[in-house]
């Protein structure tokens, strides 16, 4: 148990040091990425639990209708499908926005890091390589973190978007207009 505590403590220290090296923008990137993954996990949980119940309820409502060919019946079918679609795709635009925000924040971190390099150069000249390296580090770490967050979020968002589209198509196929 003590070894686990020390391992977790060491992990937190390494994370703190990494964020310190990347500057304040890296902390913002970390929060944006965390929010994005909370939303992704919520969507996966929704797909595994609540979505199945909503599809079952929509199918039961549709199957309970005695007539399915009229204009009114088609409008009811579209409304049922639309409700399921809204439940599936609700936070996907927010996830897409957070994915797009990650590289932009990385770029902001790059700019602020380079400003630090230029400040060091203005004060001490180009002879202080150690101080310039610290600024370059602050410039590259947020860029890398923003890209990693965006790339991982892009894969997750693509999966969720395709899965939602597939689920809607499957629901449409099950809601036949025969009868």
In angstroms, the CA 147 to CA 97 distance is 14
Quote the percentage of the chain above a pLDDT of 90. 53
**Residue 126: pLDDT band with limits 50, 70, 90:** low
Q: What ranges do the domains of the chain cover?
A: 25-41+51-174
CB pairs under 8 A, 24+ apart, for 129-137?
A: 137/21, 137/22, 137/113
Judge whether 171 and 58 are in contact, CB under 8 Å: yes
Is residue 18's pLDDT more than 60? yes
Flag whether the pTM goes above 0.85.
Answer: no
pLDDT digits (tens, 9 = 90+) for 25-56: 888 999 999 999 999 999 999 999 999 999 99
In angstroms, the CA 157 to CA 34 distance is 14
Is residue 175's pLDDT more than 90? no
Judge whether 142 and 22 are in contact, CB under 8 Å: yes
In angstroms, the CA 29 to CA 98 distance is 10
Sign for the CA dihedral angle at 134, 18, 16, 29 comes to positive
Compare 68 and 124 and report the one with higher pLDDT. 68
In angstroms, the CA 126 to CA 170 distance is 64
């Amino acid at each position: 148990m003590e070894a686990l505590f020390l391992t977790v403590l060491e992990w937190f220290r390494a994370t703190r040091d990494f964020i310190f090296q990347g500057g304040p923008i890296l902390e913002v990137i970390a929060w944006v990425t965390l929010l994005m993954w909370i939303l992704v996990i919520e969507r996966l949980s929704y797909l595994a639990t609540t979505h199945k119940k909503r599809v079952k309820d929509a199918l039961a409502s549709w199957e309970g209708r005695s007539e399915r060919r009229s204009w009114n019946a088609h409008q009811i079918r579209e409304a049922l499908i639309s409700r399921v679609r809204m439940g599936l795709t609700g936070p996907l635009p927010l996830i897409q926005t957070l994915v797009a925000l990650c590289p932009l924040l990385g770029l902001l971190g790059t700019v602020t890091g380079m400003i630090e390099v230029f400040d060091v150069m203005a004060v001490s000249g180009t002879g202080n390589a150690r101080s310039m390296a610290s600024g370059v580090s602050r410039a590259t770490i947020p860029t890398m973190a923003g890209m990693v967050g965006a790339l991982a979020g892009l894969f997750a968002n693509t999966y969720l978007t395709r899965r939602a589209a597939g689920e809607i198509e499957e629901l449409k196929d099950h809601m036949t207009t025969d009868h």
